[in-house]
A and B are shown apart, each in its own frame.
Chain A
Amino acid sequence: MHELAVCQALLDEVERIARARRAKRVAAVRVRVGALAGVEPELLQRAYEVARAGTLAEDASLAIEDSPVRVYCPRCGNEGTVQVPRLVCAACGEWRTEVVAGDDLTLMSVELVAADGVRAGGS
């Protein structure tokens, strides 16, 4: 259950961004989880609900964007979506493919609130 450790890293970064922009709280967090990232979206969601307590993101929702695995085939040039655990080229069957998407774990965006109804980070 490393999703909790992932959430702690996520919340550390979210709080860092919120503080740097002098936000009062965080309203929403969006992450992208690749199918090959080694993180279960459902477990991440549950771990997040535990980990966010006492942070600036205490009331922030977490949106998880799925990202299917895409591979490029250097032999035939085909690029397409594949199903884990078979990352072979769907067009020619070559196994020496390169993963071009779906193996990342990325913090995409955050929504910050400076005070009720007021935008954060303004001058």
Chain B
Amino acid sequence: MCENCGCAATGPEHVQVVKPLLERNDAEARHNRAHFDAHGVLAVNLMSAPGSGKTRLLEVTIPALRDEYPCAVIEGDLETDNDAARIRRHGIPAVQITTGSACHLDARMVHHALHELDLDGLALLFIENVGNLVCPASFALGTHRDVVLVSVTEGDDKPAKYPVMFRNADLVLVTKVDLLGVLDDFEVANVARQVRELGNPAPVVAISARTGEGLELWLDWLRAQSATLYGAVDRGVAALGTT
């Protein structure tokens, strides 16, 4: 075959690739993860539909955990910095990402937000994703754990309707359960059954930010994740550099 003039080549060149389509985002997510690991920070990605109570959950979680685990929050929204302002009122650093029309956070947006956040001395970082049960599921951020919220007013068939999101959840929180008394069509057990049918062993925890029901289970879950990653250290002592 002539290799000089290309005369033997008649058609286009076929190039076999076989590579994850979102490889660049995945690489940036790994970069974020390395950053979290280097600082001993547990990073948690909170995802749900709009209005499921992600920010409200953080508002009760932060005061309960802040002495034990210094925390910060990255907020993702299409517009406004309302959520970051709500978090800052608790004296916690919060960085707002406004995505404009983008329906999800991606690893690069989180990377940029991390430039505005000092991870030194932090133990816990919550990333509140854009309210959406579809798009955020496709973009890794580099967080260690994915937590998916579903509020009782949304209906108990959400895991079956949004399988990609719920299959990858490390924890499912059924929120606003203080309203169960006035609803006749929501069973927490149905949520759990559908999560299992997706092959997902994640715990399903019923919680109410208003009454505090289930809050200890959620806090204990967070403590356990941190201990799994970094050991059950006394952070107060470790921060003093005791050997």
Contact = CB atoms under 8 A, between A and B. Distances in A.
Contacts of B106: 5
Interface in B35-77: none
Q: Which of A2, A23, A113 has the most chain B CB atoms closer than 10 A to its own CB? A: A2
Interface string A1-21: 110011001101100010001
Contacts of A99: 199
Contacts of B16: 108-109
A55 interface: no
A95 B163 contact: no
B138 A36 contact: no
B147 interface: no
A46 to B, nearest CB: 16
Contacts of A119: 6, 9-13
B239 interface: no
B115 interface: no
A51 interface: no
A104 B21 CA distance: 9
A108 B20 contact: no
Contacts of A104: 20
Given A2-B103, A106-B21, A86 B13 contact: no
Contacts of B17: 13, 17, 107-110
Chain B: interface size category: 35 or more
Contact of B21 (A13, A111, A113, A121): A13
A31 interface: yes
Interface stretch (B22-30, B173-181, B229-237): B22-30
Contacts of B197: 85-88, 95
Contacts of A96: 199, 201
Contacts of A109: 14-18
Given A13-B23, A27-B12, A95-B199, A107 B18 contact: yes
Contacts of B87: none
B16 to A, nearest CB: 5
B138 A85 contact: no
Contacts of B4: 123
Nearest to B167: A36
Contacts of B33: none
Given A13-B24, A105-B21, A37 B104 contact: no
A31 B196 CA distance: 30
Interface of B: 3-4, 6, 9-25, 102-104, 106, 134-135, 137-139, 159-161, 163-165, 167, 194, 196-199, 201
11 contacts: A6-B21, A12-B24, A13-B24, A28-B12, A85-B197, A86-B197, A96-B201, A104-B20, A111-B13, A112-B12, A122-B6
